[in-house]
Amino acid sequence: MLLKRLEIQGFKSFADRVELAFNSGLTVIVGPNGSGKSNIADAIRWVLGEQSVKNLRGSRLEDVIFSGSVKRKPVGMAEVSLTLDNSNGRFPLEFNEITVTRRVYRNGESEFLINKTPCRLKDIHELFLDTGLGRDAYSIIGQGRVEEILNARPEDRRSIIEEAAGIVRYRMRKLEAEKKLQETEVDLVRVEDIISELEGQLEPLARQAEVAEKYLAYQREEQELEIGCLVRQGQQVREKLAELQCQVQELETAREEAAAALARVEASRQKFQRELEPLEAELQAIQDKYTSLLSEGEHTQGQLQVLSTQKQGRREQATLLRRQLEEIETELADSGETAAADALLVQQLEGKRQQLQSELAAVNERAESLQKELDTIRQALVSQKDSSAQALNELTRLEQQQTAGAIRLAGLREKIEHLRNQIQEIDRAITTWQAREKQSQKWQQELERGRQEHESRQVGLAQSRKEMEAELAQLEEIFNQKQQQWQLLASKARVLADMQQDYEGYQRAVRELLLRRQRGEPACQEICGVVAELLQVPQEYEIAVEVALGGALQYLVTETDQGAKQAIEYLKGHNLGRATFLPLNTVTASTLREEEKATLLKRPGVIGIAADLVSYAEKYRPVINNLLGRIIVCQDLDAALGLARATGFRYRIVTLAGDMLNPGGSLTGGSYQRRNANLLGRARELEEINQAAKQVNGEREELRKQIEKIRSSLRENQKQKEELETRTAELRLKLVEAQRDWQEARSRCQELEEQREQLLQNLESCQREYTQVERELDSLARKAAELETVRQETGNAIEAENIRLAEQEKALQNLMARQTELKVELAQVEQQLTGLKTIDVRQRLERRRRLQQLEQIQRDLAVLEQEGEALEQRKNELAEHWAKLQQETERVREKLLELRQKRQTMQIEERKLLELWQSSQERLQELERTAHQLELKRTRQEAEWENITQRLWDDFGMVFNQEQVIAYQGLDLKQAMRRIKELKALMAELGQVNIGAIEEYQRIQERYTFLQNQAQDLKEAKAALYDVIAEMEAIMAQRFAETFAQVAEHFSRVFTELFGGGQARLQLTDPENLLTTGVDIIAQPPGKKTQQLSLLSGGEKALTAISLLFAILEVRPSPFVVLDEIEAALDEANVARFAEYVKNFSDRVQFLAVSHRKGTMEAADILYGVTMDDSGSSKVLALEMTR
C-alpha cells in the first residue's frame, strides 16, 4: 500500500489547488522558512482525522483556511484529498484506490468523504485503525512529537507500542464492552426494581380484572337484549307508520275533493263580492254627499244670521268714535299756547348757565396749576435738606475707609508673592503624574474597547439566544399542536373513508347491492348508484334536502326497469331485504310550470326549488325532478307558513332548519337530528378534512424546518458565547490592573490639581482684592471732593425756594374764594332749568298720546265703513247659495233611496252563498282535524322511531336494518325486559368496578413477562460481556508482550547503528501487569555512562527517538511515514547516518520527509520545492533526482 497522491486547495498557505504525486522510496520537501512546507505534513495529519487545531499550529478551525494577504482575498473553503493504493487489500474496502477527502467552510461546516461518498469522521478513524496511520499514530512524526515521546510518562509512551502491536482496535472494543457492561448493569438494576414493583400490582389487579370481566359479560348480555328490544320496538313502530301512511293518503284524497268544492263556492262568492263592492262604494259616496249638502245648508243659514248681527254692531261703534274725535281736537288747541311761554324762559336760563360754567372751569384750572407748583417746591426743599445732611455723613465715612484701605494693600502684596511660589512647585509635580496617567489611560482605553466589544457581542448573543429560545419554544408548541391536529384529521379522514367505502349508514339491502356491484355481481351492474351519492348539495341546504328526500336518500337509481327487476330478484333470492328503485327509462320528471315557479320565487323568504339547489349529472335530471321538482325551500318557518297560506297549502315546503309543511296544512318540525348518518355531506366532509389535513401537514413540515434551523443557530450561538466569555475574562483581568494604575495616577493628579486650583483661586482672589482696594481708595477721594461741592450748592438752593413758596401760597387762597362764589350761582340756575324741563316733557308726552288716539279713531272709522259694505254683499251671496242647496239636496235624497233598495236585494243573495261556503268549510275543517290527528299519531310514531334509531346509533353505534329485524324476530320483549332488570341488579351487586383493570392487568402481565425475559437477557449479556473483556485482555496482553520484545530487540540494534556505538534498551515498569505497564527508555551513547533521558543533549534525544521509530517500523512497517524536520537537532555526521538509514529502509517503507538538511536532500528520490509568491500563496516545484 502506497501513498499515491495528495491534493491541497485552500488549506493554510496553499490558496490554489496543488497536487503532489508520490512513488516508493524517499520523497523530500524543502523550502525556505515560512514558505509552507510543513503545511504539507499538517494537511496529511488533518485529512487522516486530526481534530486538535493546536496540533496543526492554529488556534481556531478557521485558521486552516487560507486567510488572504495584501494582494489576495481569503478563500471560503479548505480541502485536502489523500489517495492510497489498496491493491493488496489492506483496507477493508473493495477498491484498488482509496481517496479520503476532508473539507471545511468558514461557517464551521465540515464534510468527510471516502471515494467521493459522504461519511463520518469516525468512519475515517476506524478505516486507519491499527494501520500505523491515523491522528495519533507513529507514521507522522514531527519535532514536537519526538520531544513528546521522550518526555512522556512511561504509561503514556506505551501507546506507541500498542499502535505497533495492533491492539488499539482491541482496546477500543474492550472500552466499548466495559461501557456496555456498565450500561447493562444499570439496566439490570432498573429492570429488577420495576419487576419488584410490578409483582406488588399484579395480585390486586387480577382480582379487579375478574370482577370487571363478570361486569362486562353482564353488560354485553344487557346490551344485546337492549338492542333486540329496540329492534323489535322499531319494527312494530315501522309497521304502525306504514298503516298510518295508508290512512293519511285516503284522507288526503277526501280532503282534496272537499277543498275543490270549497274553492268553487269561494270563487262564486268572490265574484258576487266583486259586483257588490262598486255598489257599496257608490252608495257610500251618495250618502256622504247627501250628508254634506244638509250640513252645508245649515251652515249657510247660520252665516246669514251672524252677518245681520255684525252689521248692527258696526253702526253703533262708528257713532262712539266720532264723539271721541271731537273731544281730542279741543284739548290739543289749549296745550299749544302754554308750551310756547315755557320754551322762551328755558332759553334764557341756558345762556346764563353756560357763562358761569366757563368762568368756573378757568378758575379751577388755575388753582390746580398753583397747587402743583406748591407741591413741587415743598418736595424740592425736603430733598435738598436731606441731601445736605447725607453729604456731611458720607464725608466722615469716606475718611475712615481711606485709612483702612491703605493698611489692607500692604498685607495683600505679601500674600500674593507667597502663593505664586507654591503654584510653581505644584505645576512641576502635575506634569510628572499627568504623563503617567495618559500612558495608563491609553492602555485602559484599548482594553476597555476590547471588553465592550466582547460584552456587546455577548449581549447580542444572549439576546439572540433568548429570542431564538422563545421562538423555538413557541414553534415547538405550535408544532405539537399541528401534530395533534394532523393526527386527529387523519384519523377522522380514515373513519369517513372506511364508512364511505363500506356504505355505512345505508339499509342492509341497499348496502349489500352496492357492495356486490363493486365485486362485479351481474345482477347489480345496471345500478347507477344511490340517490345520496348522485347529488352534490351545498352545505347550507343539506338539512333541507335531507328532510325533503327522507327515505328517498337511499333509493337506488338504475339504467332501466329491467335492471331494477334483476336487483329485486337478487334481493329475494338471497333474502337481503327490500329496496326502492328509480329506473331512468320509466321515472318521469315532476316540476312546476315556469310562470308558477316565477311567482313562487318572488315571495319573501323563498330560496328556490329543491331540484334547482343541488348539482347532478344531466342523465339523472328526471330522477331528481321527480323527487325534488315540486318541493320549495324557504328561509325559515315564518316564510314557509306565509307561502303556504298564500298558495292554499298546495305545496310541500321545507326550511333550512328541517321543518316541513305538507300539502293540506300539516306541519312537521322541532329539534332535527340526522338519522341518515350524514349521507349527503359525507363526501364533502371527507374532502374538507383531507384538504385541512394537507394544509396542516404542510404547516407542520415548514415548522420542523424552522425548528431545526433555530437549533443549529443555538448551537453556533453557544459556541461563540463560550469563546467570548473566555476572551472577556482575560480582558477583565488586564483591565483591572490598568484601572488600578490609572486610578493611582488620576487620584494623585486630581489631588495636585485641586491644590493648584485652590491656590490659583486664592491668588486670583488676592489680586482681585488688591486691585479693588486701589480702585476703592481712588474712588473715595473723588467722592469726598464731589460731596463737599454738593453740600455748599444745596444750602443756597434751600434759601431761594423758601421765598418762592410763600408767594405761591397767597395766590392760591385768592383763587379758592372766587371758585366758591361761582359754584353757588351755577347751582341756582341749574335748579330753575330742571323744573321747567320736567313740565315741558310731561306736556309733550300728553300731546303726542292724544294725536295718536286721533289718528287711530280716524283709521277705525274708515275700516268700519268698508266692512259694512262687504257684509251687505256677502249676505246677498249667501241667500242665493242657500236656495241652490235646497234643490240639490232633494235630488240626492231620491238617488240614495234607489241604491239602498238594490243593495238589500244583493245582500240576500250573498247570505245564501255564505251559508253554502260555511258548510263546505266545516266539512274541510273536519277532514283537516282528522288529518291532524293522524299526523299527530304519525309524528309520535316517527318520534318513537327516531328515538329508537338514535339510541341504536348513540348507545351502540348501529344503524337499523332488515338484517337486525330478522336476527331478533323471535325475541320475547317482556321476557327480555325482565332479564335486563336482573342483569342491572347483578351489575349493581358487583359495586364499584374498575373496567380498566382488565386491560391494565394484561398490560402489566405482558410487561412483567417482557421484563423477566429482558432481565434474563441482560444477565446473559452481562456474562457474555465479561467473556469478551477477558478475551480482549488476553489478546492485548499477548500481542503487547510479543511486539514489545521485538521492538526492544530492534531498538537496541538500531540505536547502536545510528549512534555508531553505545547501547540502549526498553524495559517495562510493571512486567506483571502487561495491560497498564509503562515503557522506560534506557540509553548510553558512545563514550558515556548510562543516564536518564533528560540529561541527554538535544541531538542525542532526537536520535534516540528516531531509533525507537525505526525499531517500530522494523516490527510493523507503516504504509508510509511522514517525517517533519525530526533531524533538525542533529549534527552533519548524524544527519548523514540518519539519511543513509532512511534510504536503506525506503525499499520497505515509503518515506515523506520535510527537511532543510543537505544530507537528507541528497538521499531523496524525488525532491519537492515549496516557495511562496508575492501574493502569499505557496507553490510547489517537483524535481526527480538522478544518481
The binding site for ATP consists of 32-39
**Domain-located, residue 278:** no
- Whichever domain contains 605, its CATH number is 3.30.70.1620
Domain edge (last residue) among 632, 660, 676: 676
Q: Does the structure show a pLDDT above 80 at 99?
A: yes
User: Does 585 map to a domain?
Assistant: yes
Q: What's the pLDDT at 79? A: 93
Q: Which of 762-766, 878-882, 1096-1100 has the highest mean pLDDT?
A: 762-766
State pLDDT tens for residues 1055-1077.
888 888 888 888 888 888 888 88
Which residues are annotated as part of the binding site? 32-39
Mean pLDDT of 731-746: 71
Residue 1187 above 60 pLDDT?
no
User: Residue 1128 burial by CB count (10 A; 0-12/13-18/19+): exposed, middle or buried?
Assistant: middle
Q: Residue 557's pLDDT is what? A: 92
pLDDT given for residue 190 in this prediction: 76
Q: Which three cell numbers stand for residue 3?
A: 501513498
Rounded CA separation 162/1079 (Å):
11
Kindly indicate the confidence band of residue 80, based on its pLDDT and cuts at 50, 70 and 90.
Answer: very high
Q: Residue 196's CB: how many other CB atoms inside 10 A?
A: 9
Q: Is residue 823 part of a domain?
A: no
Separation between Cα atoms, residue 550 and residue 771, nearest integer Å: 122
Is it the case that residue 315 has pLDDT exceeding 70?
A: no
- Sign of the Cα torsion 441, 446, 449, 451 reads negative
Bridge-partner residues for 661, per DSSP?
653, 667
Q: What does the pLDDT look like over 138-194, one tens digit per residue?
A: 677 776 677 777 777 877 777 777 777 777 777 777 788 888 888 888 777 777 777
Query: 3-state SS of 612-676?
Result: HHCECCHHHHHHHHHHHCCEEEECCHHHHHHHHHHCCCCCEEEECCCCEECCCCCEECCCCCCCC
pLDDT band at 698 (very low <50, low <70, confident <90, very high): confident
User: Among 749, 742, 723, 747, which Cα is nearest to 445's?
Assistant: 742
How many folded domains does the chain comprise? Answer: 2
Q: Domain for residue 953, yes or no? A: no
pLDDT of 251: 72
| Chain centroid, CA 146 distance in Å | 63
Range scoring the smallest mean pLDDT among 62-66, 626-630, 923-927, 1040-1044: 923-927
pLDDT, tens only, 828-876: 777 777 766 676 666 666 667 767 766 777 676 677 667 666 766 766 7
Domain boundary among 641, 656, 676: 676
Distance CA 543, CA 534 (A): 16
Confidence at residue 676, expressed as pLDDT on a 0 to 100 scale: 46
> The whole model's pTM is what?
0.38
Q: Where are the beta strands (DSSP E) in 531-583?
A: 556-558, 581-583
Average pLDDT over residues 537-545: 88
DSSP string covering 149-207, please?
Answer: HHHS-HHHHHHHHHHHHT-HHHHHHHHHHHHHHHHHHHHHHHHHHHHHHHHHHHHHHHH
Reported confidence tier of residue 654, pLDDT bands at 50, 70, 90: very high
CATH number of the domain at 1132, please.
3.40.50.300
Poorest-pLDDT segment among 199-213, 367-381, 1136-1150: 367-381
625, 652, 676 - which closes a domain: 676
Residue 302 banded pLDDT, cuts 50, 70, 90: low
Q: Is residue 1000 packed enough to be buried (19+ CB in 10 Å), middle (13-18) or exposed (0-12)?
A: middle
Residues near 235 by beta carbon (within 8 Å), at least 6 away in sequence: 965
The amino acid occupying position 223 is Q
Assigned domain for 89 exists: yes
Residue 599 domain-assigned? yes
Query: 191: buried, middle or exposed (CB in 10 Å: 19+, 13-18, 0-12)?
Result: buried
Span 766-825, pLDDT tens digits: 888 778 877 877 787 777 777 777 767 776 777 776 777 667 667 766 767 666 676 667
In a domain, 1146, yes or no: yes
Please tell me which residue, 1153 or 147, carries the higher pLDDT value. 1153
Give the pLDDT confidence score for residue 338 in this predicted structure. Answer: 64
Residue 1171 has phi, psi (to 5 degrees) of: -130, 165
Is pLDDT at 691 greater than 70 in this prediction?
Answer: yes
Q: Residue 492 domain-assigned?
A: no
What is the Cα–Cα distance from 1041 to 1054, expressed in whole angstroms? 20
Count of residues for the chain?
A: 1187
Rounded mean pLDDT of the chain?
78
pLDDT at 1 over 50: no
Domain span at 83: 1-139+1120-1187
Instruction: Grade residue 102 by pLDDT with cuts at 50, 70 and 90.
Output: very high
Residue with cell 311761554: 341
pLDDT at residue 311, as a whole number: 64
Distance CA 143, CA 1129 (A): 9
